[in-house]
């Protein structure tokens, strides 16, 4: 399809439904496959080059979808980075070492580039899978460890929630987070006798000791919720390469260990998450009570000690230690309230145990979006790793503001923070070493724009040069605009803002045409103006998209995010209608061709819209794992506190809550299912059988309610998690979504 003859135009001229036309289905599949084939840079690793003092090695890890096997493929490319005499980057030379690493779960290289650890999943003769750690030197593979085989550790965790595997600075030890290895004797059966001992060697007391784990086969095992199934008891594991690969484990009863890091070669630190009355979901929920611990490895019997958070109610994450091992910087939040919220930035002096708050969360001024001079409220899930500069005084952070993400330089001694001027709307740090930084710069019509440069501490400037333009994605027939839309709060008469990213086929940017309104989930998250392959695919089909950041979205300040608590189903719904009217008045969207798309809380919003505003005439709606009933969701989700915070507005109500009739009524009245009698819009429902965040029963109940009322509805069910991330499922859902919208493009109720 050409840019002026898009698939949406072709569908207007066909007879029958788009979903019955093989040409349409083929074109849609090819469009989504094309964007899925574009590699996405996921990680970068800089390492010093001992052979050439003014050069570095750079490895970029990529992933994309193989549509022959419909699976995710990983590979890496390598480069030589040469510096000028003044320390700035001279040139980047591709080494043409493209290697497939799809079978590698984790790969980490020592600082001196002499050792590499690789985690793989192996399938044994009994068809059971287990993880192994391979140790490689320049001479080849030296050692393989299997935690299941030697019963030293269980599942190794590689998600950002638990931090990354890392080498000690001297390359002698490897540290990671894994579940504690646990065996049970199963049912109440007779324990097997030890062949090396006879009955006479045991005394009566030994005979009366219950075998470990006996009768616990069916005992409830609490994990950490959505996408962390089977994560029960994470501990710190350290492999000593010089001591015959001996494994030392560190654990604290009632505490989950996460984000372990090296303070120096003999001391480690880690975050301990409190296992309170129950384990609540951790993914995208960094508000669980936690403390910062350290442990001296020189003494084999040493126990971890708490160095921050023992006597205060705090949730902390993302600890980063300075190169001189004197300071740790980390993010803090209260252990309650909205799951996405502004964080405090704290630095801990390890020499005298004093702390200093560099950025707090109580700023009443909103963040400036386009050209900020300071960080008023800090929004970032994690700090760059590493984030310290070589002076051991300064760090760099990514700060999201409205629809943008900026890079800031922060002096941890003076507290001064300065924005580093960069092109593009969104910037993320992929690697940092010796003040040499690799950045990924993005906007809706440009992806994989990788740049590298040397940060000059004197003027906070980066002289950037491209890493590899061969992998860059440019979409010339797409345009976008970012808007700040004002809204007056009738209760206080205060001026508040909604931000949005308006993305369009180039030829339709100023013409009213078919548009998809896409509110984000969370609700305390936000859209930034970055490249999203699925959005690019929908633009190529011929739809416009409006990515809306309603009040309650992050990126502005704490008051803005908390404004929504207790007002869900009202304020966020009003804001979506307000944004639609804004673009209708500008004649940029056709009010008779508006479609709705949303997942999780975004699904909550679009099902509210088709109920509360059924007279608007939305053409069709697609929802993924939506929250449709806050009252029933309170008892079925891995984050029941979310329902109470958002539904009742009480930021500290969980877990001391009794589900009274009054509370349940209040939650029900804020739910989309309360408005189901008014729905007229056709609905495509996409649900997951393994969703722990929003039970599949939520979407099913809503779907059956639509069917009972003779509303056109279709339900797709995937064996997947809340986000529906499996490649084959995502492709099926994407094509079905476009077919649903195209089928209803010219339909009437």
Burial (0-12, 13-18, 19+ Cβ within 10 Å), 508: buried
95-114 as b/e, with b when 16 or more CB fall inside 10 Å?
Answer: eeeeeeeeebbbbbbbeeee
Tokens describing residue 651: 């930021």
334-348 as b/e, with b when 16 or more CB fall inside 10 Å?
Answer: bbbbbbbbbbbbbbb
pLDDT digits (tens, 9 = 90+) for 31-48: 999 999 999 999 999 998
Q: What is the pLDDT of residue 588?
A: 96
For the chain, how long is the longest CA-to-CA vector? 92
Residue 261: which region, alpha, beta or left (left: phi > 0; alpha: psi -120 to 50)? Answer: beta
Is residue 214 a contact partner of residue 188, using CB atoms and an 8 Å limit? Answer: yes
Is residue 703 a contact partner of residue 622, using CB atoms and an 8 Å limit? Answer: no
- Residue 685 C-beta-side C-alpha neighbours within 13 Å: 28
CA distance 612 to 621: 14
| Domains present along the chain, CATH in parentheses | 7-36+475-629+671-743 (3.40.50.1820)
Choice between 297 and 203, residue whose per-residue pLDDT is larger: 297
CA distance 127 to 503: 48
Q: What is the pLDDT of residue 654?
A: 66
Q: What is the pLDDT of residue 621?
A: 98
Closest alpha carbon to 543 in 443, 622, 425: 622
368-386 as b/e, with b when 16 or more CB fall inside 10 Å?
Answer: bbeebeebbbbbbbbbbbb
* Least trusted range by pLDDT, from 145-159, 280-294, 338-352, 418-432: 145-159
Average pLDDT over residues 45-68: 88
Choice between 420 and 749, residue whose per-residue pLDDT is larger: 420
Q: What is the pLDDT of residue 2?
A: 42
* pLDDT score of 140 more than 60: yes
Q: How confident is the model at residue 568 (pLDDT cuts 50, 70, 90)?
A: very high
Q: What is the pLDDT of residue 87?
A: 87
Q: What is the pLDDT of residue 184?
A: 63
Tokens describing residue 261: 């890091």
pLDDT digits (tens, 9 = 90+) for 222-256: 999 999 988 999 999 999 999 999 999 999 999 99
Q: Is 46 helix (H, G, I), strand (E, B) or coil?
A: strand
Is residue 714 a contact partner of residue 687, using CB atoms and an 8 Å limit? Answer: no
* Least trusted range by pLDDT, from 14-28, 173-187, 647-661: 647-661
CA distance 698 to 687: 9
Q: What is the pLDDT of residue 13?
A: 87
How high does pLDDT run on average in the chain? 91
256-268 as b/e, with b when 16 or more CB fall inside 10 Å?
Answer: bbbbbbbbeeebb
| CA pseudo-torsion sign 551, 554, 559, 565 | positive
Q: What is the pLDDT of residue 749?
A: 42
pTM (whole model) above 0.75 = yes
Tokens describing residue 613: 């505003």
Average pLDDT over residues 89-110: 89
- Residue found by looking up tokens 């909103």 in the block: 366
* pLDDT score of 1 more than 50: no
Q: How confident is the model at residue 352 (pLDDT cuts 50, 70, 90)?
A: very high
Q: How confident is the model at residue 208 (pLDDT cuts 50, 70, 90)?
A: low
pLDDT digits (tens, 9 = 90+) for 600-609: 999 999 999 9
Q: What is the pLDDT of residue 400?
A: 96
Tokens describing residue 333: 């939040």
Tokens describing residue 430: 């992929």
Q: What is the pLDDT of residue 3?
A: 46
Closest alpha carbon to 408 in 390, 416, 396, 400: 396
Q: What is the pLDDT of residue 748?
A: 53
Q: Is 730 helix (H, G, I), strand (E, B) or coil?
A: helix
pLDDT digits (tens, 9 = 90+) for 628-664: 999 998 889 999 999 989 998 877 666 667 788 998 9
Q: Is 389 helix (H, G, I), strand (E, B) or coil?
A: coil
CA distance 647 to 674: 14
Q: Is 585 helix (H, G, I), strand (E, B) or coil?
A: helix
pLDDT > 90 fraction of the chain, expressed in percent and rounded: 77
543 vs 12, 173, 357, 535, 582, CA distance in Å?
13, 53, 46, 9, 18
Strands 166-167 and 404-411, sheet pairing: unpaired
DSSP H or E stretch at residue 397? strand 394-401
Q: How confident is the model at residue 27 (pLDDT cuts 50, 70, 90)?
A: very high
pLDDT digits (tens, 9 = 90+) for 680-716: 999 999 999 999 999 999 999 999 999 999 999 999 9
Burial (0-12, 13-18, 19+ Cβ within 10 Å), 245: middle
Q: What does residue 411 show for φ and ψ, rounded to 5 degrees?
A: -85, 115
Average pLDDT over residues 614-635: 95
Closest alpha carbon to 598 in 561, 565, 564, 550: 550
* pLDDT score of 100 more than 50: yes
Q: How confident is the model at residue 545 (pLDDT cuts 50, 70, 90)?
A: very high
Q: Where are the alpha helices (DSSP H) in 95-169?
A: 147-150
Average pLDDT over residues 309-335: 95
pLDDT > 70 fraction of the chain, expressed in percent and rounded: 94
* pLDDT score of 341 more than 60: yes
Closest alpha carbon to 46 in 467, 423, 355, 366: 467
* Least trusted range by pLDDT, from 197-211, 212-226, 431-445: 197-211
Q: What is the pLDDT of residue 689?
A: 97
């Amino acid at each position: 399809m050409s840019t002026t003859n898009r698939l949406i135009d072709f569908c207007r001229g066909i007879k029958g439904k788009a979903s019955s036309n093989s040409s349409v289905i083929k074109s849609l599949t090819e469009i989504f496959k094309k964007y899925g084939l574009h590699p996405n840079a996921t990680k970068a690793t800089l390492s010093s080059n001992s052979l050439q003092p003014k050069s570095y090695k750079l490895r970029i890890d990529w992933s994309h979808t193989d549509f022959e096997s419909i699976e995710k493929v990983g590979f890496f490319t390598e480069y030589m980075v040469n510096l000028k005499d003044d320390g700035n980057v001279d040139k980047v030379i591709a080494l043409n070492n493209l290697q497939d690493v799809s079978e590698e779960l984790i790969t980490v290289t020592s600082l001196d580039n002499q050792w590499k650890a690789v985690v793989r999943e192996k399938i044994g003769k009994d068809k059971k899978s287990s993880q192994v750690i391979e140790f490689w030197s320049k001479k080849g593979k030296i050692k393989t460890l299997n935690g299941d085989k030697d019963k030293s550790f269980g599942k190794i965790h590689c998600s950002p929630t638990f931090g990354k595997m890392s080498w000690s600075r001297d390359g002698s030890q490897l540290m990671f987070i894994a579940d504690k290895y646990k065996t049970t004797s199963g049912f109440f059966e007779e324990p097997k006798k030890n062949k090396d001992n006879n009955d006479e060697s045991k005394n009566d007391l030994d005979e009366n000791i219950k075998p470990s784990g006996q009768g616990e086969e069916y005992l409830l095992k609490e994990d950490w919720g959505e996408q962390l199934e089977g994560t029960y008891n994470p501990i710190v594991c350290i492999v000593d390469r010089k001591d015959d690969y001996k494994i030392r484990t560190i654990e604290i009863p009632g505490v989950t260990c996460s984000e372990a890091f090296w303070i120096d070669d003999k001391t480690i630190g880690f975050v301990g998450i409190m296992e309170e009355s129950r384990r609540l979901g951790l993914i995208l929920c960094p508000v669980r009570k936690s403390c910062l611990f350290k442990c001296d490895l020189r003494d084999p019997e040493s126990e971890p000690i708490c160095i921050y958070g023992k006597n205060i109610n705090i949730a902390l994450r993302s600890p980063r230690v300075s190169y001189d091992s004197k300071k740790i910087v980390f993010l803090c939040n209260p252990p309650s309230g909205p799951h996405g919220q502004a964080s405090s930035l704290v630095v801990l002096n390890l020499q005298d145990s004093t702390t200093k708050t560099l950025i707090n969360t109580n700023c009443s001024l909103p963040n400036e979006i386009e050209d900020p001079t300071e960080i008023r409220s800090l929004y970032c899930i994690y700090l760059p790793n590493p984030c310290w500069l070589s002076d051991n005084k300064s760090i760099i952070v990514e700060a999201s503001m409205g629809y943008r993400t900026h890079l800031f330089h922060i002096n941890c001694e003076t507290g001064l923070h300065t924005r580093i001027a960069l092109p593009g709307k969104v910037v993320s740090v992929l690697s940092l070493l010796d003040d040499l930084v690799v950045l990924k710069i993005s906007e809706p019509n440009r992806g994989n724009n990788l740049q590298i440069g040397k940060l000059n501490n004197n003027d906070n400037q980066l002289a950037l040069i491209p890493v590899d333009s061969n992998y860059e994605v440019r979409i010339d027939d797409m345009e976008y605009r970012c808007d700040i839309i004002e809204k007056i709060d009738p209760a206080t008469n205060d001026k508040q803002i909604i931000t949005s990213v308006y993305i369009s086929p180039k030829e339709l940017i100023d013409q009213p045409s078919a548009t998809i309104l896409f509110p984000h989930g969370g609700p305390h998250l936000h859209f930034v103006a970055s490249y999203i392959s699925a959005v690019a695919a929908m633009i190529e089909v011929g739809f416009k998209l409006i990515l809306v950041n309603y009040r309650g979205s992050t990126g502005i300040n704490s008051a803005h995010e908390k404004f929504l608590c207790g007002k869900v189903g009202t304020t966020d719904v009003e804001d979506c209608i307000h944004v639609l009217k804004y673009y209708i008045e500008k004649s940029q969207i056709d009010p008779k061709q508006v479609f709705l798309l949303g997942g999780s809380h975004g699904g909550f919003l679009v099902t509210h819209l088709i109920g509360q505003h059924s007279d608007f005439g939305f053409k069709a709606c697609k929802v993924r794992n939506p929250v449709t009933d806050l009252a029933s969701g309170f008892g079925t989700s891995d984050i029941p506190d979310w329902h109470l915070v958002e539904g009742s507005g009480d930021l500290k109500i969980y877990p001391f809550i009794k589900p009274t009739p009054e509370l349940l009524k209040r939650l029900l009245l804020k739910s989309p299912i309360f408005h189901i009698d008014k729905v007229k819009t056709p609905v495509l429902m996409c649900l997951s059988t393994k969703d722990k965040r929003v039970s599949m029963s939520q979407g099913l109940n809503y779907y059956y309610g639509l069917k009972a009322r003779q509303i056109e509805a279709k339900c797709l069910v995937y064996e997947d998690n809340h986000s529906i991330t499996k490649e084959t499922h995502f492709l099926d859902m994407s094509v079905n979504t476009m077919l649903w919208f195209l089928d209803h493009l010219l339909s009437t109720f």
